[in-house]
Structure 1
Amino acid sequence: MNKWKKWTLRAALALAALVVLAGAALLAGTLLAERKMNRQIQVNVKGVALRSDAAALARGRYLYASRGCVDCHGKNGAGRMFLDDGKGLRIAGPNITSGPGSVTVRYTAQDWERSIRHGISPTGRALMIMPSEDYNRLTDDDLASLVAWVRNLAAASGGGPVVDLPPPVKALYGIGLIPDAAEKINHALAPAQPVAEGVNLAHGAYVAHMCIGCHGANLAGGKIPGGPPEWPAAADLRPGAVMARYANADAFMKMFKTGKRADGSAVQVMPFTSLSEMSDTDVRALHLYLSNLPAKSGKP
């Protein structure tokens, strides 16, 4: 056998070995994902206060509209398909009204708290598509208000969650490279304490918790967990990075309202259906807080 044939044979064998190894890794990751999805998570909670007063409903309506709930569950709470890349990745939020197909119709006070704050279903499994890391630090009053509004939504027909993951994504979840919310959360933390609402750092920090699901716990940005490959990385929100575009709160507010940068280009992926509903106070407080974070490494 001449050298060319030997080289070709060795290359073919090496390629075959790589294919076998990749297939084995994919299978192992998928099996780990199934086990992970079915794991039981025990978190003791006291349960949210089930309110129906006018103040709670008004606050809850605002939170539902401005904190991302609409993007996954729809304005009427009946659920919606919010991600379908045409390549096998399909994700839909479930119906959370009291109508046919609801997943919350039998929720107890404890179920509401575990689901929203901890990303855990009434059966003790992780809620795959619930970004509870964004809501874990809600105060008791805000959690109660949000639940009050959801329970007040008109009954509508809808369906359960859809979580269709391509095998590579499922494998990455299985080996821990794409964590679910229940993995990210420190379940032992006590609920956040109320702070004075206003354009101040404390309130800005409170509002900023809604950003960590995409931008990370330190708001340094990076690849959005579980997002399609074509999605851009979430921006680094620390001084010295993208916030340089928004030197004042007015520019920041305009971006939230329009979904566009100062140069007119569209900001991709951001949930502007919700962000555009945020109050001036919340947006200005958030801008103040982000502007006062420790600067990005290597920047002034």
Structure 2
Amino acid sequence: MSKVAKWVGGALAVVVGVPLALFGFFWVRGGAFLAAVHEVPAEPLVLPADATTLSRGAHLAAVYCGDCHADDFGGKMMIEDAAFAMLPAPNLTRGLGGVAGQLDTAGWVRAVRHGVGADGRALFIMPSEYYVNFSREDLAALVAHLAQLPPVDRELPARRFGPVGRTLAGAGPLRGGFPVLRIDHTAPFPEAPPAAATAEYGGYLARTFGCAACHGENLAGGPTQGAPEIPSPNLTPGDALGSWSEADFVDQARTREGEHMPWPALAKMTDEELQALWRFLASLPAQPTNPSPA
């Protein structure tokens, strides 16, 4: 074999071998990450049984859980891509295929507040980094309602990450979708302001609803985290919302539809909650829309 042929063969081996070796490394690393069991504390929670609190829990579940887990809480598929992931939002009831039978009160707390499933694995795109902002009373009301949901028989495919998703989990980019990595698991329960049409209570709603996930920590919008090609509106008075009225905002929340904004969940808020949310947004300092990263 000539020296040129040997050189070409060696170069091809490097060109092909190095990417394959990296893929193999991240594949194994991703599998270990996805299978890891997370030991997190579960704060003691006494579940109420009075009708008023259970009604509050039903309202919270409708607003915060129904968009992903379906209005009957029987779950639905969120992602169906064999190469990336098969990802169900689980059936939360005790029906066929449901997870409620696997969860005691501590298990519900770990799932909702800490982003850890019944098997100890990290939950993916579960907004626990925002639900950790629930007060003890609101979390107790929510869990009490979820624990007694009527059964819905709906079996969904198990969570499975395909070669692309598993490799991205190993390489790092996908890890932003696992809130267990970002939560302060020792943080105490925050106090909720009195439920009223106030900016203070609106701030509590914005924190628990997770507005910052898309609109940025300063709520000034711009490129959406994880999907920069999708612009998020500026929610401060520094852009279009500065010309809106409270009535405009409530009307948009009640009637608007769109693919990327959880309008159906927002529409389930009470008038008082929407007024509070608007008054919080209107109280923010006006800021220019966040720029695209350089």
TM-score (norm 1): 0.79
8 Å CA contact retained: 2:135, 2:189: yes
1:221-242 CA distance string (max 9 Å, x none):
43344x6x9x724444344246
Specify whether residues 55 and 15 from structure 1 end up closer, same or farther in structure 2 by C-alpha distance, changes over 3 A only. Answer: farther
Alignment match, 1:118: 114
Kindly provide the amino acid, as one letter, of the partner of residue 181 in structure 2.
E
Alignment match, 2:192: 194
8 Å CA contact retained: 2:90, 2:99: yes
Alignment match, 1:171: 167
Residues of 1 paired with 2:289 and 2:72: CA distance? 46
Residues of 2 paired with 1:142 and 1:83: CA distance? 29
SS in 1 for 2:188: coil
Specify whether residues 56 and 19 from structure 1 end up closer, same or farther in structure 2 by C-alpha distance, changes over 3 A only. Answer: farther
8 Å CA contact retained: 1:103, 1:160: no
Residues of 1 paired with 2:241 and 2:162: CA distance? 34
Offset of 1:202 from its aligned partner?
Answer: 1.6
Residues of 2 paired with 1:158 and 1:146: CA distance? 22
Following TM superposition, the consecutive aligned residue runs of length 4 or more in structure 1 with deviations greater than 6 angstroms are 12-16
**Structure 1, unaligned runs of 5 or more:** 1-5, 261-266
SS in 1 for 2:87: strand
Alignment match, 2:259: 268
Do structure 1's residue 76 and structure 2's residue 77 form an aligned pair?
no
Offset of 1:89 from its aligned partner?
Answer: 4.5
Residues of 2 paired with 1:235 and 1:87: CA distance? 31
SS in 2 for 1:105: helix
Do structure 1's residue 279 and structure 2's residue 279 form an aligned pair?
no
8 Å CA contact retained: 2:61, 2:142: yes
1:46-69 CA distance string (max 9 Å, x none):
3322222201211011111112x1
Offset of 1:281 from its aligned partner?
Answer: 1.6
Offset of 1:138 from its aligned partner?
Answer: 0.6
Alignment match, 1:44: 41
Residues of 1 paired with 2:56 and 2:89: CA distance? 22
SS in 2 for 1:232: strand
Specify which of 14, 24, 29 is matched with residue 26 of structure 2: 29
**Structure 2, unaligned runs of 5 or more:** none
Alignment match, 1:131: 127
Aligned length: 280
Specify whether residues 123 and 86 from structure 1 end up closer, same or farther in structure 2 by C-alpha distance, changes over 3 A only. Answer: closer
8 Å CA contact retained: 1:26, 1:167: no
Alignment match, 2:224: 223
1:153-179 CA distance string (max 9 Å, x none):
111212357444453444333333232
Residues of 2 paired with 1:39 and 1:21: CA distance? 27
Residues of 2 paired with 1:242 and 1:20: CA distance? 52
